[in-house]
Amino acid sequence: MRVVDSHLLRAGLASFWSYSGRVFGLGWTFALIHVLGIGSYGQYAVAVAAAAILNAGIDNAFFVRSLRLDEARYERERCARVLFGIAVAAVGVLCYLQWFVAGFAVVVAAGELLFNTYKSRFLRAGRPDVTMRFDAVRQLTSIALGASYLYLAADPTVAVAGALYLLPYLVIVVLCLGYVPGRSPAFPGGGKEFGLLSAEAFVGGVYTQGDVLIIGWIAGSDVAGYYSVALVTAIAISMIGQNFANTYIEKIRDADGHLSSAPSRGGIARVGLITGASMAAVGVGVLVWGGADETGWIAVILSVFVFARSVDHSFIVVLFVQKRDALRVRATLGVAAVKLAVLPVTVASLGGVGAAVVCAACELLLLAVYYRAVYHSPVAAPLDREVVT
């Protein structure tokens, strides 16, 4: 019981800091819409969605391997991660001078890569409560800088507000520079493993954030803005499931990925039901409050997505440590292909509500695939080796 309580306590603290950051984020969303309008916020939302896709593609191999490597190899790959992140950030700054959406996306992707590098030490130890606290502090600082400009400047623009929002990443760059001296940088795994992990993350990013890009393309930035508000809230609530799963990382790694070290099915299901019900309550609250009915219905529908995604986080952690990378890539690619094929039709006819239905259905499909992989096609210790490390 003490072990369970410890995991729940750390997950609860991590979720507290996560939601503190999300509350700040909602304030930032309000400020952007209030001062610049829903169209400018839609531009910002598209840039953030693109950043998530790009960051997933360039950082996932480093991220996943940092959870399962021995200490010596971890430090070498961490060194390479820092050097790579700085190079990408430099490219992003150059892009920013010409095009806000592309530049912001690249700089955020690089900044989050470096921030993940700094937080990796704590995540390896199963301390998402610490990493989420860092996230909240960074986000509060970014929002304070950007929002101050929005309300104090005579004629604010989204580009300048975005530049101020990015400034705290400079501090992260300085902190990460300490990981470079005295270490020989190492490529994250062999070519096959790197390709699998990068492909999985890129496809996963498209799967998660592609909705906003497609809505912006077909229905316009206003509809993309409304949908993005609901999707950001859904992802934030589902983070409880990720935080819960992350508290088991060290334990699962020490047990070579054996299921006996993973969270119980009952615990996983309870977390999923709690998060799904919370998202449904948000949607109902928006509908009762009035003024944003489309967002309210989108939120209610996405409560199914939140339930499934919260559960999936625990399955993904087990599959990470078991090194079943090819399985995750196939699953994500297959479901993403279905989603992207159906979305344009549903968005054109039903707008954001149609996108929410497709989003929820695809996450349930992914849940079924992962559940079967974890419980009906488990690996026995010692692990199978889908990739060469």
Residue 265: partners with Cβ closer than 8 Å, 6 or more residues away: 375
**Residue 191 pLDDT exceeds 60:** yes
Q: Using CA atoms, how far apart are residues 365 and 41, in angstroms rounded to an integer?
A: 31
pLDDT, tens digit, 9 for 90 and up, residues 307-322:
999 999 888 888 877 8
Most confident of 54-68, 129-143, 217-231, 298-312: 298-312
**Residue 225 pLDDT exceeds 70:** yes
186 confidence band (pLDDT: 50, 70, 90)? confident
Residue 7, pLDDT score: 64
Judged by phi (left if over 0) then psi (alpha if -120 to 50, else beta), residue 220 lies in left
Q: Output b/e per residue, 214-241; b: 16+ Cβ within 10 A.
A: bbbebbebebbbbbbbbbbbbbbbbbbb
Summarize the confidence of residues 322-342 as an average pLDDT.
85
Residue pair 253/247 in contact (Cβ under 8 Å)? The answer is: no
Question: What is the overall mean pLDDT for the chain?
Answer: 83
Residue pair 353/299 in contact (Cβ under 8 Å)? The answer is: no
What ranges do the domains of the chain cover? Answer: 2-376
pLDDT, tens digit, 9 for 90 and up, residues 11-35:
667 667 666 666 777 778 788 888 8
166 confidence band (pLDDT: 50, 70, 90)? very high
φ, ψ of residue 247 to 5 degrees: the values are: -70, -15
**Residue 384 pLDDT exceeds 60:** no
The position carrying tokens 């010409």 is: 98
CATH of domain 2-376: 1.20.1250
Summarize the confidence of residues 247-251 as an average pLDDT.
75
Q: How big is the CA angle at 320 (ends 314 and 83), to the nearest 5 degrees? A: 120
Q: Using CA atoms, how far apart are residues 139 and 236, in angstroms rounded to an integer?
A: 14
Summarize the confidence of residues 2-15 as an average pLDDT.
61
pLDDT, tens digit, 9 for 90 and up, residues 57-77:
788 888 888 877 778 888 899
6 confidence band (pLDDT: 50, 70, 90)? low
Cα 6 from chain centroid (whole Å) = 24
**Residue 261 pLDDT exceeds 60:** yes
Residue 164, pLDDT score: 94
**Residue 280 pLDDT exceeds 90:** yes
Summarize the confidence of residues 321-349 as an average pLDDT.
85
Of 241 and 294, more confident: 241
pLDDT, tens digit, 9 for 90 and up, residues 71-125:
888 889 999 999 999 999 999 999 998 888 889 999 999 999 999 999 988 888 7
Summarize the confidence of residues 171-185 as an average pLDDT.
91
Residue pair 134/74 in contact (Cβ under 8 Å)? The answer is: no
Residue pair 353/224 in contact (Cβ under 8 Å)? The answer is: no
Residue pair 151/33 in contact (Cβ under 8 Å)? The answer is: no
Output the six-digit token pair for 206: 């498209």
Summarize the confidence of residues 258-277 as an average pLDDT.
85
Long-range contacts of 74-78 (CB under 8 A, 24+ apart): 74/120, 74/124, 75/179, 75/183, 76/183, 76/184, 76/185, 76/186, 77/185, 77/186, 77/187, 77/188, 78/117, 78/120, 78/179, 78/183
Q: Using CA atoms, how far apart are residues 11 and 126, in angstroms rounded to an integer?
A: 10
Q: Using CA atoms, how far apart are residues 83 and 181, in angstroms rounded to an integer?
A: 11
